[in-house]
Amino acid sequence: MMALKKAVITSAGLGSRMREITNVLPKSLIPLYKAENSKKILVPIIDFIFASISNVGIDDICIVAGDKEHLIKKHLEEKKIKNVRFVSQHPPKGFGAAVLAAEKFSSGDPFMLNTDDIVLTSGYDVLSGLFKKLNPDALFFIREVGNPKRYGVAVVEEEDVFMNHKVFRVTDVEEKPANPKSNFAIIGLYAFSGKIFKALRDSSSGENVELTPAIEQLIKDGGRVYAILIKDEVTLNVGDPENYFKAMSYTFNEAEKMLKP
């Protein structure tokens, strides 16, 4: 059994769906509400991501950043957040390329992966605990959606229950399929063994490197890949206007319940 002690946050994307904001700020600095001294205030989503990761005992963190890296560094310095390493990615060449950039940081150790535009209101302990129990090559959250064509999709077989969450063995994945094989969408919170880096290289077929084909490659290579079905967790997403409105509304109404960054 191997516990997760490292985490990677990818923050190198252009954020084109939020370009009126991301022309100025990286997605990781887009704000959400929380309560402080009985007042609602705005703090960047990265503060909630750090709090969630730290709450499961992970304090060795790498941020893969793009051309607004200096803004993230300045924010973390102001918050006195330490034990953070930065890897630069210019220009962005796909989600998988951002993960591949963290290979030296991983040094073959397993790691949690969080995109900079989502945070779950809970569930990080489920991901961490199940990874320690199963020691898989990949583990991630999924949720049922009405239009799976918009997402990375997982084909699964029900396997077990862990901490009141259904656990599935993943038999296939596909990225934004025209004819989806399931309605289980992959959420941007993962945990991987070091095998993901070879899979990223082996699955790359062009200038851009994507993560979903690498997970598919892991499965083809006999890797053990599992998924956790979202239960009570709420996915706060700042990656597009519609979801950002939902995230702002949720955190405004539930500010007192939000993790304290």
pLDDT the model gives residue 46: 97
Query: Chunked in runs of 10, what are the mean pLDDT values of the chain (261 residues)?
Result: 92 86 93 94 96 96 96 95 90 91 97 97 97 98 94 95 97 94 96 98 87 97 98 95 96 86 52
Question: Do 2 and 220 meet the contact criterion of CB atoms below 8 Å apart?
Answer: no
pLDDT the model gives residue 261: 52
Between CA 5 and CA 46 the distance in angstroms is: 18
Please choose, from the candidates 64, 73, 150, 43, the residue with its C-alpha nearest in 3D space to the C-alpha of residue 114: 64
* CATH homologous superfamily of 6-246: Spore Coat Polysaccharide Biosynthesis Protein SpsA; Chain A (3.90.550.10)
Domain range annotation of the chain: 6-246
This prediction has a pTM of: 0.95
Q: Return the residue matching tokens 């950043």.
A: 65
pLDDT the model gives residue 240: 94
Between CA 173 and CA 193 the distance in angstroms is: 18
What is the 3-state composition of the chain as percent helix, strand, coil, each rounded to the nearest 5?
35, 30, 35
Question: Do 166 and 149 meet the contact criterion of CB atoms below 8 Å apart?
Answer: no
Between CA 28 and CA 76 the distance in angstroms is: 11
Question: Do 114 and 191 meet the contact criterion of CB atoms below 8 Å apart?
Answer: no
